[in-house]
């Protein structure tokens, strides 16, 4: 009896331990999210004052723009976890989330009677591909609030597919989700798809169940500091001008790296081929979600991870008939159990392999920030977009920044429009002169590899390169000489 139970768990042990080992080996990428710095600083701020700030305390360009922090609860959680466990705790939290996602996908695939081998193939590929490590920094298994959206999307998807009464627990999850990340709208969309298909099939009981859950989730989403304005807040990022500049909003083809993206492309082609061969309407909801997010992912890269997740169950059922029929399924389960035990033993080895010097991306080091604070405490700083969040973490507003990854949720559109004129490889002198003059900039923090900017500021405008770090340079405007009057 105990042996049979462990055999059933073998596929879970194998896949969860396997993907967690893989995630641990990518620890630096998981912690490499450029916005992690400001999330931790925001959590510290909320915990210190006991309120959620609606005005940005770290920049000099936000003006009267309301700061809409849709991830305030994640910020608080990450801040508390970081205080107790430093970066290792954040890393392990993300890895546990990744393992939970794998476990849920295994559960829902098995509930649809897919064979263990087909489930292994489908779930393993999905869990290796959805983080999109090859397209860094546009990854979805990261120390950032979007990991919550991936996890809760899988929970909503799995529970709706299982068609049990546990779907009535989803509104309680929605209360958490809406305060953790703005991606909560995806949960409403998933339930609505199941509700719509039930209506199409005239399944009254299913339509009633999903309809009630959908309405309850909509109401539950109102339990947040912004109330119904949270729906308005989420639209600030959809269709905003920042989408044309932030890489995760670009089309899929612009994020392709060779050879890193080849497995994902082959997966997409395999899924499409098997889907076109199978015209059965089984699991219409899962297949519809897969196709929708495939097209959305091709249009904007940030959605491709959800395609890999939603396509897991359909792919398992497509692959199942292609697998050789094994006379003794218990032998397969036993083999998976032994393989799972081996993967569990590999976990400590992966943990030991982790670099002990975990931390934020080294683009702006503590030394860089300290130099800026000591020598230019009153700087009117123009910083590179990717440096903003890290600089907030390092200085906590001691040097007010120009912009960071919060984009339209914290900065006015005019400011973003001005900044995006500068975020190009080629220096447009008129645009740079305009921004430097308009915002009275006297200090620039930029990548030290940008030779054209160095030539423009130092050679053409007479600025001084006052400091050069491992990744960043600080340029300072020379003060005009004072002429003594007798």
Share of the chain above pLDDT 90, in %: 70
Contact 304, 297 (CB under 8 A): yes
Over the stretch 59-102, which tens digit does the pLDDT of each residue have? 999 989 999 999 999 999 999 999 999 999 999 999 999 999 99
Instruction: Give the Cα separation of 308 and 133 in Å (integer).
Output: 13
Confidence of residue 480 (pLDDT cuts 50, 70, 90): low
Contact 22, 347 (CB under 8 A): no
Say if strands 464-468 and 472-476 run parallel, antiparallel, or are unpaired.
Answer: antiparallel
Q: What average pLDDT does this structure show over 4-23?
A: 84
Q: What average pLDDT does this structure show over 179-193?
A: 95
Lowest mean pLDDT across 115-129, 191-205, 269-283: 269-283
Q: Is the pLDDT of residue 6 over 70?
A: no
Tell me which H or E stretch contains 443. Answer: strand 443-447
Greatest extent of the chain over all pairs of C-alpha atoms, in Å: 105
Over the stretch 438-479, which tens digit does the pLDDT of each residue have? 999 999 999 999 999 999 999 999 999 999 999 999 999 987
Over the stretch 204-245, which tens digit does the pLDDT of each residue have? 999 999 999 999 999 999 999 989 888 888 877 776 767 777
Say if strands 464-468 and 443-447 run parallel, antiparallel, or are unpaired.
Answer: unpaired
Instruction: Give the Cα separation of 115 and 326 in Å (integer).
Output: 10
Instruction: Give the Cα separation of 423 and 25 in Å (integer).
Output: 32
Q: What residue spans define the domains of the chain?
A: 2-30+68-353, 366-476
Q: Is the pLDDT of residue 254 over 70?
A: yes
Q: Is the pLDDT of residue 483 over 50?
A: no
Q: What average pLDDT does this structure show over 144-158?
A: 95
In b/e form, how buried is each residue of 333-369, taking b as 16+ CB within 10 angstroms?
A: beebbebbeebbeebeebbeeeeeebebbbbbbeebb
In b/e form, how buried is each residue of 461-474, taking b as 16+ CB within 10 angstroms?
A: eebeeebebebbbb
Share of the chain above pLDDT 70, in %: 95
In b/e form, how buried is each residue of 429-441, taking b as 16+ CB within 10 angstroms?
A: eeebeebbeebeb
Over the stretch 295-346, which tens digit does the pLDDT of each residue have? 999 998 989 999 999 999 999 999 988 877 755 567 777 788 788 888 888 8
Over the stretch 350-392, which tens digit does the pLDDT of each residue have? 888 787 678 888 889 999 999 999 999 999 999 999 999 999 9
Sheet holding 464-468, edge to edge: 381-383, 443-447, 472-476, 464-468
Residue 180 tokens, joined: 């953790």
Contact 104, 155 (CB under 8 A): yes
Q: What is the mean pLDDT of the chain?
A: 90
Q: What is the pLDDT of residue 3?
A: 53
């Amino acid at each position: 009896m105990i042996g049979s139970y462990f055999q059933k768990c073998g596929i879970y042990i194998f896949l969860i331990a396997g993907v967690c080992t893989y995630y641990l080996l990518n620890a630096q990428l998981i912690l490499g999210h450029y916005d992690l710095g400001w999330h931790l600083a925001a959590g510290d701020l909320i915990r210190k004052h006991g309120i959620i700030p609606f005005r940005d305390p770290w920049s000099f360009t936000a003006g009267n723009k309301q700061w809409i922090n849709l991830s305030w609860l994640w910020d608080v959680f990450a801040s508390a976890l970081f205080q107790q466990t430093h970066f290792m705790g954040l890393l392990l939290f993300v890895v546990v989330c990744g393992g939970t996602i794998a476990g849920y996908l295994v559960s829902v695939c098995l509930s649809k009677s897919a064979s263990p081998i087909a489930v292994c193939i489908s779930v393993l590929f999905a869990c290796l591909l959805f983080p999109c490590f090859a397209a860094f920094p546009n990854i979805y298994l990261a120390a950032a609030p979007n990991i919550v959206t991936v996890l809760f999307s899988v929970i909503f998807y799995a529970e709706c597919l299982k068609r049990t009464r546990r779907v009535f627990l989803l509104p309680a999850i929605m209360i958490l989700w809406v305060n953790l990340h703005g991606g909560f709208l995806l949960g409403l969309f998933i339930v609505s798809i199941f509700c719509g298909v039930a209506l199409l099939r005239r399944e009254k009981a299913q339509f009633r169940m999903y309809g009630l859950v959908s309405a309850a989730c909509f109401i539950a989403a109102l339990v947040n500091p912004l109330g119904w304005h949270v729906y308005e807040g989420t639209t600030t990022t959809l269709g905003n001008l920042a989408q044309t500049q932030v890489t995760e909003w670009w089309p899929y083809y612009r994020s392709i790296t060779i050879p890193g993206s080849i497995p994902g492309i082959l997966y997409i082609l395999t899924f499409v081929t098997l889907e076109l061969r199978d015209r059965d309407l089984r699991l219409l909801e899962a297949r519809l979600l897969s196709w929708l997010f495939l097209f959305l992912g091709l249009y904007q890269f940030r959605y491709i991870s959800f395609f890999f997740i939603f396509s897991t169950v359909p792919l398992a059922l497509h692959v199942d008939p292609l697998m050789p029929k094994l006379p003794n399924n218990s032998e397969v389960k036993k083999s998976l159990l032994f393989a799972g035990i081996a993967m569990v033993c590999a976990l400590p080895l992966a943990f030991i392999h982790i670099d002990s010097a975990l931390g934020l991306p080294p683009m702006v080091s503590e030394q860089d920030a300290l130099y800026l604070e000591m020598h230019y405490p009153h700087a009117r700083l123009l910083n590179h977009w990717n440096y903003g969040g890290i600089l907030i973490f390092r200085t906590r507003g001691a040097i007010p920044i120009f912009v960071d990854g919060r984009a339209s949720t914290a900065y006015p559109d005019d400011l973003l429009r001005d900044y995006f004129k500068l975020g190009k490889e080629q220096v447009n002198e008129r645009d740079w002169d305009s921004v430097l003059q308009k915002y009275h900039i006297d200090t620039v923090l930029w990548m030290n590899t940008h030779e054209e900017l160095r030539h423009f500021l130092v050679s053409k405008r007479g600025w001084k390169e006052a400091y050069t770090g491992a990744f960043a340079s600080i340029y300072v405007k020379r003060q005009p000489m004072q002429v003594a009057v007798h």
